[in-house]
């Protein structure tokens, strides 16, 4: 079977090359034969034999353009034309070149067995024919016969080597194409993972801050409408608006830091403290300003965490407080950090009503679970009978970098958000 055209640099170039080779061989055979006829004495060959010789040349050369489509048939035709031509013509023309080209093409097109059989038959026929000649009338001596054998073997071997080379190029092309596709798939996966990470960060930052701003602005508006006396209304409204200002400032800072990865390389990202458990007091302070009684408790000895894991722990606590503010209608919240040699345990428990929709499909809860799962941890959420609890376990000895965006299993009896 012929190799696909991409290996041969396209259909047009392959056809053009074949036609050029055919034209060159045709010019060689016809020119050499014409020169032999003109150089021979007049009347050295009869007209019928000369016409027969030209007919055989036309048949052999005319079959060459089809050698890619029917390599074995063309090789047989050129061989038969040569077999008839040389005994009948007195002019020793190079018609055998057409058979050589057809034999090479048959081997190069994958017809190795047929090419080897034709080469063997040719060598055997020439040898038997020379052996039957009378002494002194042989046209090919033993040395020439050996050279002919080497010539035929070389044609078949070179044709097979070309076939192997084309097959190797085709395989290398396929491997390169597969590698390119795999690289594109990995690039798309990386883009999707980065987009999901950014979306999760923006959700956590904006969701938490906007929830607190909503509660604080509602408290300020409530105080102004229920307390018409400026002496009573203004101090409470001032405290609420100051909390709104601080919360919005922190939200803008964290949002700029999150979106800094989208900036061009020549533009510097804003310099700001990285969110982590070291800023837990600020997070708790904003929640207290929103009216929640938040208590923090630490068990075990705290340690320094890698930045990615520290941010994940902070975001889990932040999103839990956001859900308490938006859904739970709670008044008290207990945040417990449990440190061991193997893992960090996070527990955020409130005395509220939990999620009003009772579903587990909220993006906030899924985001928390994905953060825990990315570090080999786990997260559970559900009612306690006296409120709602979110518990997470983040291993300290496992992979301290996100492992991908594999589907996350979440244990819950009532969703948040």
- Could you read off the pLDDT of 267-277 as tens digits, one per residue? 444 444 567 88
pLDDT at 136: 57
Which residues, 6 or more positions from 26, have their beta carbon under 8 angstroms from its beta carbon? 61, 64
d(CA 320, CA 346): 10
> Mind listing the pLDDT tens digit for each residue in 156-190?
888 888 888 888 888 888 888 888 888 888 888 88
Q: Which of 158, 143, 147, 140 is nearest to 103 (CA)?
A: 158
Beta bridge partners of 412: 381
d(CA 186, CA 391): 33
pLDDT at 248: 76
pLDDT at 289: 78
> Mind listing the pLDDT tens digit for each residue in 185-200?
888 888 887 777 777 7
Interstrand relation of 343-350 and 293-299 (parallel, antiparallel or unpaired): unpaired
Give the pLDDT band (50/70/90) at residue 228.
low
Token output for 126 = 């020439």
Interstrand relation of 378-383 and 388-395 (parallel, antiparallel or unpaired): antiparallel
Interstrand relation of 411-412 and 378-383 (parallel, antiparallel or unpaired): parallel
Neighbours of 105 (CB within 10 A): 23
Residue located via tokens 């503010």: 325
d(CA 251, CA 280): 15
Which residues, 6 or more positions from 410, have their beta carbon under 8 angstroms from its beta carbon? 360, 365, 366, 369, 379, 380, 381
Mean pLDDT of 119-128: 80
Neighbours of 155 (CB within 10 A): 22
d(CA 309, CA 364): 18
> Mind listing the pLDDT tens digit for each residue in 35-82?
888 887 777 778 888 889 899 999 999 888 888 888 899 889 988 988
First to last CA, the chain: 63
Give the pLDDT band (50/70/90) at residue 393.
very high
d(CA 385, CA 352): 10
pLDDT at 41: 79
Which residues, 6 or more positions from 237, have their beta carbon under 8 angstroms from its beta carbon? 220, 223, 224
pLDDT reading at 411 higher than 70: no
CA angle 403, 408, 412 (to 5 degrees): 140
Greater confidence, 185 or 125? 185
What does the DSSP 8-state code read for residue 327?
Answer: I
pLDDT reading at 224 higher than 60: yes
Helix (H/G/I), strand (E/B), else coil: 44:
coil
Give the pLDDT band (50/70/90) at residue 9.
very low
d(CA 16, CA 191): 45
pLDDT reading at 401 higher than 50: no
pTM of this prediction exceeds 0.75: no
pLDDT reading at 414 higher than 50: no
The proportion of the chain whose per-residue pLDDT surpasses 70, expressed as a percent, equals 76
Q: Exposure pattern of 287-309 as b/e (b: 16+ CB <10 Å)?
A: bebbebebeeeeeeeeeebeeeb
pLDDT at 325: 79
Give the pLDDT band (50/70/90) at residue 384.
confident
Task: Give 67-72's long-range contacts (Cβ < 8 A, gap of 24+).
Answer: 67/18, 67/101, 67/102, 67/105, 67/106, 68/2, 68/14, 68/18, 68/105, 68/109, 71/102, 71/105, 71/106, 71/109, 71/111, 71/114, 72/106, 72/111, 72/114, 72/115, 72/118
d(CA 140, CA 130): 7
Q: What is the DSSP string of 248-309?
A: HHHHHHHHHHHHGGGS-TTSPPPP-PPPSGGGHHHHHHHHHHTT-EEEEEEES---PPPHHH
CB 396 within 8 A of CB 341: yes
CB 326 within 8 A of CB 318: no
Helix (H/G/I), strand (E/B), else coil: 26:
helix
Task: Give the fold, CATH level 3, of 277-395.
Answer: Heat Shock Protein 90 (3.30.565)
């Amino acid at each position: 079977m012929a190799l696909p055209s991409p290996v041969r640099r396209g259909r047009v170039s392959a056809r053009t090359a074949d036609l050029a080779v055919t034209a060159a061989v045709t010019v060689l055979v016809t020119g050499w034969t014409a020169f032999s006829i003109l150089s021979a004495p007049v009347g050295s060959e009869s007209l019928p034999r000369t016409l027969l010789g030209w007919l055989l040349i036309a048949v052999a050369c005319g079959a060459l353009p089809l050698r890619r489509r029917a390599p074995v048939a063309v090789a047989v035709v050129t061989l038969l034309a040569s077999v008839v031509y040389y005994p009948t013509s007195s002019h020793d023309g190079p018609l055998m070149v057409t058979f050589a080209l057809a034999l090479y093409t048959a081997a190069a097109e994958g017809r190795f067995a047929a090419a080897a059989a034709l080469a063997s038959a040719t060598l055997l026929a020439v040898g038997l024919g020379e052996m039957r000649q009378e002494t002194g009338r042989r046209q090919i001596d033993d040395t020439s016969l050996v050279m002919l054998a080497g010539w035929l073997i070389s044609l078949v071997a070179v044709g097979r080597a070309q076939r192997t080379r084309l097959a190797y190029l085709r395989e290398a092309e396929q491997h390169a194409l597969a590698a390119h596709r795999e690289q594109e798939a990995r690039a798309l996966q990386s883009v999707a993972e980065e987009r999901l990470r950014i979306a999760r960060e923006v959700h956590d930052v904006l969701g938490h801050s906007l929830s607190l701003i909503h509660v604080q602005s509602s408290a300020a508006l409530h105080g102004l409408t229920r307390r018409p006396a400026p002496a009573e209304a203004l101090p409470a409204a001032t405290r609420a608006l100051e909390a709104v200002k601080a919360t919005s400032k922190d939200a803008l800072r964290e949002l700029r830091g999150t979106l800094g990865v989208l900036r061009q390389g020549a533009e510097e990202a804003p310099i700001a403290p990285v969110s982590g458990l070291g800023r837990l007091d600020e997070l708790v302070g904003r929640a207290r300003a929103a009216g929640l009684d938040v208590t923090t408790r630490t068990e075990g000895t705290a340690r320094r965490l890698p930045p990615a894991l520290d941010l994940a722990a902070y975001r889990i606590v932040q999103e839990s407080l956001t859900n308490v503010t938006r859904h739970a209608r709670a008044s008290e919240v207990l945040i417990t950090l449990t440190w061991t040699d193997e893992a960090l345990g996070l527990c955020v428990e409130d005395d509220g009503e939990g999620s009003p929709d009772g579903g587990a499909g909220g993006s906030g809860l899924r985001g928390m679970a994905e953060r825990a799962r990315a570090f080999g941890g786990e997260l559970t959420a559900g009612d306690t009978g006296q409120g709602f609890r979110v518990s997470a376990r983040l291993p300290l000895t496992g992979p301290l970098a996100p492992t991908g965006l594999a589907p996350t299993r979440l244990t819950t009896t009532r969703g948040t958000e």
